[in-house]
Structure 1
Amino acid sequence: MKIAILGSGVIGVTSAWYLAKAGHEVTVIDRQDGPALETSFANAGEISPGYASPWAAPGIPMKAVKWLMMKHAPLILRPHADMAMLRWLVAMLGNCNARDYAINKSRMVRLAEFSRDCLIALRGETGIRYDERSRGTLQLFREQKQLDGIGKDIAVLQADGVPFEVLDRAGCIAAEPGLAASTAPIVGGLRLPNDETGDCFKFTNALAAMAAAKGVEFRNGINIQRLIEEGGRIVRVETDKGSVSADVFLVAMGSFSPQLVAPLSIRLPVYPVKGYSLTVPIVDEARAPVSTLLDESYKVAITRLGDRIRVGGMAEISGFSRDLPPERRATLEHSAGSLFPGGGDLEAASFWCGLRPMTPDSTPVIGPTRVSNLFLNTGHGTLGWTMACGSAHVITDLIGGRRPAIEASDLAISRY
């Protein structure tokens, strides 16, 4: 079949790879000049299936009030007249209960674990390189109550057969020796030894080159305007440089997906949640992280990427704003500087932001729509890099009329 993929972030490019491998003729269309130049460009770099957890959880509304008042706030709300924001917030709060949390986390871990297996297989098949490491992820707790509250997450990890370790301060330092120089309070951590790290931008561009060698056509610098439906099918996508016809259309445009499908009477509950990152040159290897550390207090991930440290985090609900407030940079510098002092040159760091496409239940939307030849692969939030290969594998099977390797019916938009 001839397939048009709309969007060339990590989700669109991995989808193109798997669809081309399955024998389809694939065209990828994106407004940027190359792959992974928006949300996939400078994300936290972690591939952490076991930490695939819904943002909507019991107690989050009360925690959110506290977070909004913090100097180095992990959550920032900048409300404005936006009904989409209001609907998304209401729906997210509706998922903040134990029952929905367990359901959402279980399906997120299912997809994320499958995705890691797909990534390992892809790496073995192609030899792709992207500053990858397989040294695990450490969720670090600065307060005892954080460590005491991990029971529900451990229960899900045990149910899904995900290996884990509960560590004291000494165990955390053994896993991440650079922490020995930190004067920050460290009461313990939860470590997942099977997690990985890697540069999403490098991976996406390397895979795009491999996909192009398989015949995938990348049309860059093209603004997608609208999908044209006739007789219950999409017949073409119109752009500022002409129209493109195909047998199947796959929307992988992240936070911009809802606007494209809304004229088709498809309400896609994806909203941008802004995240920030620093890319820091390493100046002292002994004081730098060896893998990924999650600073639970500030919701910041600190990841080793080759000769750089990627520091990413925060959740800012502010629509499609792309400004770079200095106070957000200060939060990232505080987290990294207090845990790995002297490891990197924070003053020389580059500062970036991206719009994460979040659903109210934190689970991506992968699968068919009411339009017979229109499919979705979007809404991955903070986990696009973690879930990319698995999501692409699933959507390739669905488009090809095959049963996916994992249960996927609860990933489709029909769950709403």
Structure 2
Amino acid sequence: MKVLVLGSGVIGVTTAHYLAAAGHEVEVIDRQNGPALETSFANAGEVSPGYSSPWAGPGVPVKAIKWMLMRYGPLVVRPHLDPAMWSWMFKMLRNCTSARYAVNKARMVPIAEYSRDCLMALRQLTGVHYDERSKGTLQLFRLQKQLDGIGGDVEVLKKFGVPFEVLDQKGCIAAEPALAAVREKFVGGLRLPNDETGDCQMFTEALAAHCAGKGVNFRFDVTIDKFVAEGGRITGVATSAGLLTADAYVVALGSYSPILLKPLGLSVPVYPVKGYSMTVPITNPEAAPVSTVMDETYKIAITRLGDRIRVGGTAEIAGYDLRLHQARRETLEHSVCDLFPNGGAVKQASFWTGLRPMTPDGPPIIGQTCYGNLYLNTGHGTLGWTMACGSGQVLADIMSGRKPEIDASVLNLSRYAA
């Protein structure tokens, strides 16, 4: 069948790849002039299944207040009169219980682990390169109480069979030698050796080129206006290029998915949570990170991408505002300069922001809607790069009438009705 994929970020392009591999005729449309030019453009670079956790959890409301009061805090809320913002925050607060956290975590880890396996297979199949590394992730604790509080996370890792290492100061330095210069800044860490890193935009561009070579049609600079529906099915998409039609449609528009779907009567609880990143040219490779270091205190990821350091983090709830705020850059600079002071030319770094499509419970939304030929692949939050390949494969299986290799029923939009 012919499938129209809306969105050419990492989610849309991986979906197109797996649909084409399943034998479908695939067309991808996007308002930008190329793939991965919005949220996928400059994310933190982590492929971290072991850190696939809901933001909503026990104790988070109290922590949020503390984070907002910190000088280099990881959370900013810019309230305004937007019912969707308040509804999403209320639903997120309802998920901040131990019971809901356990359920949501159990829905996220399988798709993330499966996605990492799909990425490895895709890499072998296509030969794409994207400054990838398979050297793990180190969650770095500056305070003893942070290290002492990892028991719950360790139990979850054990439950799902995720390899991990609890490291003292020397162990952290063995994993990331450049930290020897700042050993007084931290007490220990939690390392996930199977995590990977890579440039999400570079990957998406390379995969899009591979897909185009296999017959996928990409149409850029096309603005999407609305769906046209009749009799419980989608009959077309009104765009700046005219009415585009297909047998089935996939919405992979990240934070903008709810806006397009609302006129259809579909309530999709995805809201943008703004993230920032800096990309720092490396000046001293020996003083730069080997892989990813997660600065637990400031919730900042510091990742080696070839000859660059990607510094990503902060959460800003401010609607669809894409303005760059200098205070957020100062937070990123503080973290990377504190841990890797001699690794790169921070003042020469580029500064970027993007909108993470967050669900209030944490897991993405993947599957069919009440419109028989309309499917969703959205709401991945901070884990779009981590979950992209698995999400694309799962949706391609569903649309092809095959049973996915993991239980994807818990990721469907219908979970909110329940």
State percent identity of aligned pairs: 65
Per-residue displacement from partner, 1:310-334 (whole Å, max 9, x unpaired)? 0000000000111111110000000
Q: Distance in 1 between matches of 2:355 and 2:325?
A: 15
8 A contact 2:169–2:183 mirrored in 1: no
Aligned to 2:177: 177
Q: Distance in 1 between matches of 2:388 and 2:394?
A: 10
Give the secondary structure class of the aligned counterpart of 2:311: strand
Normalised TM-score (structure 1): 0.99
Aligned to 1:6: 6
Q: Where does structure 1 differ by over 3 angstroms across 4 or more consecutive aligned residues?
A: none
Normalised TM-score (structure 2): 0.99
Aligned to 1:287: 287
C-alpha deviation, 1:183, in angstroms: 5.6
Aligned to 2:37: 37
Give the secondary structure class of the aligned counterpart of 1:367: strand
Please say if 1:313 is aligned against 2:308. no
Q: Distance in 1 between matches of 2:183 and 2:278?
A: 22
Give the secondary structure class of the aligned counterpart of 2:272: strand
C-alpha deviation, 1:144, in angstroms: 1.1
C-alpha deviation, 1:181, in angstroms: 1.4
Please say if 1:192 is aligned against 2:208. no
Aligned to 1:97: 97
Instruction: Give aligned pairs, total.
Output: 416
Aligned to 1:273: 273
Aligned to 2:399: 399
Gaps in structure 1 of 5+ consecutive residues: none
8 A contact 1:184–1:338 mirrored in 2: no
* Superposition pairs of residues 227-242 of structure 1, within 5 angstroms: 227-242=227-242
8 A contact 1:3–1:25 mirrored in 2: yes
Per-residue displacement from partner, 1:168-221 (whole Å, max 9, x unpaired)? 111111100111112652011000000000000000000000000111000100
8 A contact 1:183–1:338 mirrored in 2: no
The residue type equivalent to 2:152 in the other structure is K
The residue type equivalent to 1:51 in the other structure is Y
Please say if 1:354 is aligned against 2:354. yes
Please say if 1:408 is aligned against 2:369. no
Aligned to 2:153: 153
Q: Distance in 1 between matches of 2:367 and 2:67?
A: 35
Per-residue displacement from partner, 1:49-92 (whole Å, max 9, x unpaired)? 00001100100000000000000010000000000000000000
Q: Distance in 1 between matches of 2:172 and 2:217?
A: 46
Q: Distance in 1 between matches of 2:319 and 2:152?
A: 32
Aligned to 1:226: 226
Q: Distance in 2 between matches of 1:341 and 1:174?
A: 18
8 A contact 2:3–2:247 mirrored in 1: yes
The residue type equivalent to 1:374 in the other structure is L
Give the secondary structure class of the aligned counterpart of 1:215: coil
C-alpha deviation, 1:149, in angstroms: 1.2
Q: Distance in 2 between matches of 1:99 and 1:185?
A: 35
C-alpha deviation, 1:152, in angstroms: 1.1
C-alpha deviation, 1:125, in angstroms: 1.0
The residue type equivalent to 2:350 in the other structure is S
Per-residue displacement from partner, 1:130-189 (whole Å, max 9, x unpaired)? 000000000001111111111111111101000000001111111001111126520110
Q: Distance in 2 between matches of 1:132 and 1:183?
A: 27
Gaps in structure 2 of 5+ consecutive residues: none
8 A contact 2:52–2:112 mirrored in 1: yes
Aligned to 1:117: 117
Aligned to 1:344: 344
Give the secondary structure class of the aligned counterpart of 2:278: strand
Please say if 1:373 is aligned against 2:380. no
The residue type equivalent to 2:266 in the other structure is I
Aligned to 2:74: 74
Q: Distance in 2 between matches of 1:227 and 1:157?
A: 42
Name which of structure 1's ranges 143-152 and 17-26 shifts more when overlaid on structure 2. Answer: 143-152
Per-residue displacement from partner, 1:266-296 (whole Å, max 9, x unpaired)? 1000000000000000001111000001101
Q: Distance in 1 between matches of 2:407 and 2:109?
A: 12
Q: Distance in 2 between matches of 1:352 and 1:380?
A: 19
Q: Distance in 2 between matches of 1:367 and 1:140?
A: 36
Aligned to 2:143: 143
Aligned to 1:57: 57
The residue type equivalent to 1:404 in the other structure is P
Per-residue displacement from partner, 1:17-63 (whole Å, max 9, x unpaired)? 00001000000010000000000000000000000011001000000
Q: Distance in 1 between matches of 2:227 and 2:181?
A: 55
Q: Distance in 1 between matches of 2:154 and 2:110?
A: 15
Aligned to 2:15: 15
C-alpha deviation, 1:235, in angstroms: 0.5
* Superposition pairs of residues 251-270 of structure 1, within 5 angstroms: 251-270=251-270
Q: Distance in 2 between matches of 1:405 and 1:263?
A: 33
C-alpha deviation, 1:299, in angstroms: 0.5
Q: Distance in 2 between matches of 1:388 and 1:141?
A: 28
Q: Distance in 1 between matches of 2:280 and 2:69?
A: 28
Q: Distance in 1 between matches of 2:262 and 2:152?
A: 37
Aligned to 2:203: 203
Name which of structure 1's ranges 147-156 and 247-256 shifts more when overlaid on structure 2. Answer: 147-156
8 A contact 1:184–1:339 mirrored in 2: no
Q: CA RMSD in A?
A: 0.6
C-alpha deviation, 1:379, in angstroms: 0.3
Give the secondary structure class of the aligned counterpart of 2:222: coil
Give the secondary structure class of the aligned counterpart of 1:338: helix
8 A contact 1:272–1:357 mirrored in 2: yes
8 A contact 2:141–2:297 mirrored in 1: yes
Aligned to 2:212: 212
